Amino acid sequence: MKPRILTGDRPTGPLHIGHLVGSLRSRVRLQHEFDTYVLLADVQALTDHFEHPRRVRDNVMQVALDYLAVGLDPREATFVVQSGVPEIAELTVFYLNLVTVSHLRQNPTVKSEIAQKGFGESVPAGFFVYPVSQAADITAFGAQVVPVGEDQLPMIEQTAEIVRRFNRLYAPVLVEPRALVGEVARLPGLDGKAKMSKSLGNAIFLSDPADEVARKVRGMYTDPNHLRVEDPGRTEGNPVFAYLDAFDPDRARVAELRAHYERGGLGDVKVKRHLLDVLEATLGPIRERRAEFARHPDEVEAVVREGTRRGREVAAVTMRAVREAMSLDYFADAEINAGG
């Protein structure tokens, strides 16, 4: 049997090129060697979008299209809608006993999200505990490997802690996962901020039309002191060069451009034009495949429906073992205890 992968995304909007280099590419690469499950994490999306359920629902299909467009193959990877697997919610309730509020408060990713969303003291409890629900996502599928962006490392660490605690306390039934961070740990935003994100409005989406990508690249932040072409420019902290590093397969050419820019004599307009060509070489084919799949929404829906059904079967196996380990298997032979 192949080892298993579980990973996923919150369907709060379309996926961007940060997702592509952070985790989508490793998923595509690994889908043949691993039994791969990809979670459309609508329940997690609701933890900060519970007032907009319709938006989450619409984005489930958009993200499924992004998956297909980047080359996740439904014969290799199973697409699962999180809310279609109620076992995850059940596991979450049991795992909540194994973590403390003070430990949850220290999660650096949740901390910065709370600050970014301006929740202050009024953070919804569901949002606060989503790392526990993410542990349920991962363990429900018995995943050994979780391909994610760097910001997700605290979630995998939290999952590993819950697994160790559970296995020690009850019975060794859960699999301890490890994270696999993509080729590029973190892609900066168009504005040079540390992280590309939909909510910061500094992202290039996989679904952006070509003229939109061109407009975004033209408006990118560069070195603010690089005023004249002859001036030496800074490439460090310059997102144009970070993107070239991430997307230009011609390393020697990037090294040359970097040296030229630093020495002076290479203008922003020119580097950006090159960057646009490089990005389009990646995004063009993705855009075409996306448009092709978008013409067949029934097929996309069928892929997601069938994937969710298979995902639920896998989670049900874990659920039975967990119930037994926790002495909750009252009616072992009865349908009532079968975990769905």
Which positions touch ligand TRP (CB under 6 A)?
6-10, 39, 41, 44, 134, 137-138, 146, 148, 152
Least distance (Å) between residue 159 CB and ligand TRP: 8
- Retrieve residue 233's tokens: 């420019």
Kindly give, in sequence order, each residue whose CB lies less than 8 Å from that of residue 313, ignoring residues fewer than 6 positions away.
none
Which among 29, 31, 32 has a CA at the least distance from the CA of 6? 31
Closest CA to 290 of 28, 54, 20, 71: 71
Q: Indicate the residue among 10 and 16 with the shorter CB distance to ligand TRP.
A: 10
Q: How many Å apart are CA 41 and CA 191, to the nearest integer?
A: 28
C-alpha distances out from residue 156 to 107, 153, 163, Å: 11, 5, 10
Residue 146 or 314: the one with the smaller Cβ distance to ligand TRP is 146
Cα separation, 107 vs 83, in Å, equals 24
DSSP-derived 3-state class of residue 85: coil
Q: How far is the CB of 128 from ligand TRP (least distance, A)?
A: 14
**Which C-beta is closer to ligand TRP: that of 60 or that of 217?**
60
- Beta carbon nearer to ligand TRP, 145 or 275: 145
Shortest distance (Å) from residue 149 CB to ligand TRP: 7
CB of 278 to ligand TRP, least distance (A): 25
Residue among 171 and 200 whose Cβ is closer to ligand TRP: 200
Report residue 8: phi and psi, to 5°.
-175, 180
CB of residue 145 vs ligand TRP: minimum separation in angstroms? 10
Least distance to ligand TRP from the beta carbon of 9, Å?
Answer: 5
The tokens describing 103, both together, are 């430990």
User: Between 153-169 and 108-116, two packed helices, what is the crossing angle to 10 degrees?
Assistant: 130
Least gap, CB of 181 to ligand TRP (angstroms)? 12
Give the residue with the Cβ less far from ligand TRP, 13 or 188: 13
- Of 68 and 181, which CB lies nearer to ligand TRP in the complex structure? 181
Using CA of residue 36, residue 38, residue 298, residue 296, what is the dihedral sign?
Answer: negative
| CA atoms of 81 and 64, how far apart (whole Å) | 10
| Token representation of residue 117 | 């969303």
The residue with its CB nearest to ligand TRP is: 41
